[in-house]
Structure 1
């Protein structure tokens, strides 16, 4: 393996070569501590660098000198030193950028006149100095994933609509308080996931009109979100994941306008009886219901599910205290009951215990921890 100075010299000579440097389409950069193996591999259009901070810094400088003018994709990981993009901007040719475990890396400031051609942007446990991200700077962005960006306070938009955005995921941004101001105007957004954002108090406003193509929505462990968005959820929503406490979602009548919903996952850790989260409204298109991580759920009320006339699959997982079923029986439309890591209920089902068995025996397929129970 080459030492840092030698590797740096080889890199500088290579990127200044017309035959090699300009052929690089993908660049993978990672920093390793002194004494660790350092290497550089050029494989086709992909250049992978595992080296010290001087090599990483040289790679950044090479971008500003147009030695990597055809660069389309860049992965940066494990860079613990304080670095910043040259000229405080991204390469013009860059289409995909993934940054992982680079907490001190300075993300370029977004200026109103500065537009980038990025299609995909992923930031994970990195760029901790970043406090705001403007979608205006990335008009072609289709996929945005931000995770553990600990000082991010806002994701903004002042030039709506953002027609390119299709997937948006934000996770573990504990200081996030603002979300696109007056609303996230993204007419082609199909997937939205917001989880573990402790200070976020509201859904993006006007979701029902500004997100007409939204099919999948996940809202998890955002403790301050207690209100349904103004105007309700998008009418074409097909998959919904809700994770929170019974205080947040004890009134579920707001779900009545979700006529297109086919899959619902609910995770309420404080609930003892399913009646605490209210009667599920009629969801005529719902085919799959997943109840998971109800750590204190002791009783499943069968009658609470009778409004789900199209329900085909019921998945119950990680409910360690669940051992009772009340009501006549589970919906007759069910074709699959799947129980996973619910020791008390699972054992009763396997033993066809009274009065549990009469409530589920009409279901063609019953699985407990992957094992099918025969009639």
Structure 2
């Protein structure tokens, strides 16, 4: 069942009392301005998705108590209005330390990921960045702190021309690159010994669906 709630400005109060709720997806609500300001999000969430909520205020991140969601495994954010929210969450390190999967998608004005905003995610295993056409580089310092990272996917990010020169985390077992013209040109044919050396330790590298190693 699909419900169209174009005029919805806020979610029900006391949403934090829904202690049995494990998965929450908030998407396609163009007039949503706030939620969870009276006690935070449901405490037992395992996954949270926020997509295309263009009026949702970036400042509300402080009310969500994401750091208190010790069971949250997956967080996905993207679409209209999400650039400012992500920036707030990262700069203030509001994402829970035990997060395992982070999906960032369709943020047209995102140019960088603040280096300090990810360094505390030492349990992160999957990082996926898709359709962020203005993103120019990945945070080198932060990636080095992601000691549990196993999978890194980059899709539709044409402004990224190279991966961190100091290399990616040694824990990484899979790197996927798709529709990223700059990265394809630099790595697809293993050209440039210095550049290739920074990722050659990864057991599985796929570029546009083609297995490179």
Structure 2 length-normalised TM: 0.84
The aligned residue for residue 365 of structure 1 is 204
1:317-358 C-alpha deviation (Å, 9 max, x unpaired): 111222123441111110000112222212321122334312
Q: CA deviation at 1:269?
A: 1.9
Determine which of 7, 23, 40 is the counterpart of 1:207: 40
Determine which of 219, 240, 244 is the counterpart of 2:50: 219
Instruction: Flag the structure with larger Rg.
Output: 1
The aligned residue for residue 197 of structure 1 is 29
Structure 1 length-normalised TM: 0.50
Give SS of 1:207's match. Answer: coil
More strand by share: 1
CA contact 1:256–1:282 (8 Å) conserved in 2: no
Q: Write the distance in 1 (CA, Å) between the matches of 2:210 and 2:202.
A: 15
The count of residues paired between Structure 1 and Structure 2 equals 203
Change (3 A) 1:351 1:203: farther
> Which structure 2 segments of 5+ residues have no match?
none
Alignment of 1:276-355 (within 5 A): 279-354=117-192, 355=194
CA contact 1:250–1:278 (8 Å) conserved in 2: no
Alignment of 1:1-375 (within 5 A): 122=1, 124=2, 146=3, 149=4, 173-205=5-37, 206-208=39-41, 211-225=42-56, 226=58, 227-230=60-63, 232-233=65-66, 234-243=69-78, 244-251=81-88, 252-255=90-93, 258-267=96-105, 268-275=107-114, 279-354=117-192, 355-374=194-213
Q: CA deviation at 1:187?
A: 1.1
Change (3 A) 1:338 1:278: same
Q: Write the distance in 2 (CA, Å) between the matches of 1:298 and 1:196.
A: 27
Q: CA deviation at 1:245?
A: 4.4
Q: Write the distance in 1 (CA, Å) between the matches of 2:178 and 2:35.
A: 31
> Which structure 1 segments of 5+ residues have no match?
1-121, 125-145, 150-172
Change (3 A) 1:184 1:174: farther
CA contact 2:97–2:123 (8 Å) conserved in 1: yes
Give SS of 1:348's match. Answer: helix
**Cα RMSD for the two superposed structures:** 2.2
Give SS of 1:356's match. Answer: helix
Give SS of 2:138's match. Answer: strand
Q: Write the distance in 1 (CA, Å) between the matches of 2:61 and 2:202.
A: 34
Q: CA deviation at 1:231?
A: 5.4
The aligned residue for residue 4 of structure 1 is none
Give SS of 2:163's match. Answer: strand
CA contact 2:13–2:35 (8 Å) conserved in 1: no
